[in-house]
């Protein structure tokens, strides 16, 4: 819901955006009013494609740091702003570049496929990036017999390995939001809403995905719920996606899974760090700016361009 108080702030953002020739890109996990302020709301893949294609002078990235860094890697001549530099990612933090370099030394004949949820230094050590919507396609496109290190998400990696049957060594990282779902809680909610379809993000553990009627990225969950005839869905991902689900399908019901028995939700606190107030300050002052060392940027760019070429 976007309240009245937010309307003045949205007007100010529109004014600043025009004055500065800025485009606002936001992820589906940000709060409702941030999504309402964006020119484009998307999943990680669509956002990186938009960042590569825009001709705006400034990109304001309403999301977490690795996403804003990806925009800067693809558009080095543009000013990329992020409302809060501390908006990190538990999954990206689970893979340090020096540790990945050590793993590459242990498996010298393996190709590195890395989820975009990684630092720019990790991307610089990567052969090809992927997102949750294209991971199966990217891995399948590698030559048969090619051995793969998949980083950093063990759940997505395991899902891709089961889908493709490829020889993959998995990095042992995970997203704390998607790891917090459990099959028991899904069964509990399903018991209350027996007609509902369960849709889940592939960052969830295999035991959770086994409960799902549909597994896909945020963008894929959105299109599945739009086209499926069911009227109720149990949504097993970060609840920020409910804003877009309800906007696209106002006649359908979407239920979330409580993170604990007291009913709290599985929020990504990093995505929720982006607010309209921070966006206004960010546009007014044109800071914080995302800066990347040019040598690292060039190395990282190859892995993202390789992904975009296959997407």
What does the binding site for ligand 13P look like in residue numbers (CB under 6 A)? 43-44, 117, 131-133, 175, 203, 217-218
- C-beta closer to ligand 13P: residue 17 or 205: 205
Helix (H, G, I), strand (E, B) or coil at 26: strand
Radius of gyration of the chain (CA): 19
**Looking at 51-59, 139-147, 175-183, 285-293, which segment touches ligand SF4 (CB under 6 A)?**
175-183
Residue owning tokens 């890109």: 25
Residues 102-161 that bind ligand SF4 (CB under 6 A): 117
Task: Give which of ligand SF4, ligand 13P, none residue 217 binds (C-beta under 5 to 8 Å, depending on kind).
Answer: ligand 13P
Residue owning tokens 């998307």: 42
Task: Say if residue 64 is exposed, middle or buried (CB neighbours under 10 Å; 0-12, 13-18, 19+).
Answer: buried
Q: What b-and-e string marks burial along 207-234, b requiring 16 or more CB atoms within 10 Å of the CB? A: ebbebbeebbbbbbbbebbeeeeeeebb
Task: Give which of ligand SF4, ligand 13P, none residue 270 binds (C-beta under 5 to 8 Å, depending on kind).
Answer: ligand SF4
Q: Do 173 and 91 meet the contact criterion of CB atoms below 8 Å apart?
A: yes
Question: Residue from 271, 283, 290, 307 that binds ligand SF4 (CB under 6 A)?
Answer: 271
Phi/psi of residue 255, nearest 5 degrees: -110, 145
- C-beta closer to ligand 13P: residue 94 or 131: 131
Task: Give which of ligand 13P, ligand SF4, none residue 112 binds (C-beta under 5 to 8 Å, depending on kind).
Answer: none
Q: Counting contacts by CB under 6 A, is residue 256 touching ligand SF4?
A: no
**Looking at 18-26, 49-57, 171-179, 218-226, which segment touches ligand SF4 (CB under 6 A)?**
171-179
Dihedral sign for Cα 101, 177, 52, 160, please: positive
Q: How far is CA 170 from CA 19, 23, 104, 131, 253, in A?
A: 46, 36, 12, 15, 36
246 upstream amide cis, omega within 30 of 0: no
CB of 235 to ligand 13P, least distance (A): 12
DSSP conformational letter for 110: P
CB of 135 to ligand SF4, least distance (A): 13
Task: Give which of ligand 13P, ligand SF4, none residue 218 binds (C-beta under 5 to 8 Å, depending on kind).
Answer: ligand 13P
Question: Residue from 136, 148, 177, 273 that binds ligand SF4 (CB under 6 A)?
Answer: 177
Q: Counting contacts by CB under 6 A, is residue 64 touching ligand SF4?
A: yes
- C-beta closer to ligand 13P: residue 70 or 217: 217
Q: Which is it for strands 214-215 and 232-236: parallel, antiparallel or unpaired?
A: unpaired
Binding positions for ligand SF4, rule: CB under 6 A: 29, 64, 89-91, 117, 175-177, 238, 268, 270-271
């Amino acid at each position: 819901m976007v309240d009245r108080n937010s309307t003045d702030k949205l007007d100010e953002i529109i004014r600043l955006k025009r004055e500065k020739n800025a485009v606002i890109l936001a992820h589906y996990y940000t709060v409702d009013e941030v999504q309402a302020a964006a020119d484009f709301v998307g999943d990680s893949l669509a956002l990186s494609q938009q960042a590569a294609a825009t001709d705006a002078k400034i990109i304001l990235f309403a999301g977490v740091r690795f996403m804003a860094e990806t925009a800067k890697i693809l558009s080095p001549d543009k000013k990329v702003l992020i409302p809060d530099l501390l908006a990190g990612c538990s999954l990206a933090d689970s893979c340090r570049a020096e540790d990945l370099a050590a793993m590459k030394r242990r498996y010298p004949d393996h190709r590195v496929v890395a989820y975009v949820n990684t630092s720019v230094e990790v991307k610089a050590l990567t052969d090809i990036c992927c997102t949750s919507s294209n991971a199966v396609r990217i891995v399948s496109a590698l030559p048969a017999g090619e051995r793969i290190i998949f980083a950093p998400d063990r759940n997505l990696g395991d899902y891709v390995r089961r889908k493709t049957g490829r020889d993959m060594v998995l990095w042992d990282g995970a997203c704390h939001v998607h790891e917090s779902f459990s099959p028991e809680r899904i069964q509990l909610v399903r018991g209350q809403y027996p007609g509902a379809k369960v849709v889940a993000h592939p960052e969830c553990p295999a035991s959770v995905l086994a409960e799902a009627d549909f597994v896909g990225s945020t963008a894929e969950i959105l299109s599945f719920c739009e086209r499926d005839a069911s009227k109720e869905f149990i949504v097993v991902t970060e609840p920020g996606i409910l804003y877009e689900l309800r906007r696209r399908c106002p006649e359908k019901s979407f239920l979330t899974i409580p993170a604990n028995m007291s009913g709290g939700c599985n929020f990504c606190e990093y995505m929720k760090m982006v607010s309209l107030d921070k966006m206004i300050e960010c546009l007014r002052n044109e800071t914080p700016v995302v800066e990347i060392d040019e040598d690292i940027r060039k190395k990282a760019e190859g892995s993202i361009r390789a992904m975009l070429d296959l997407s």
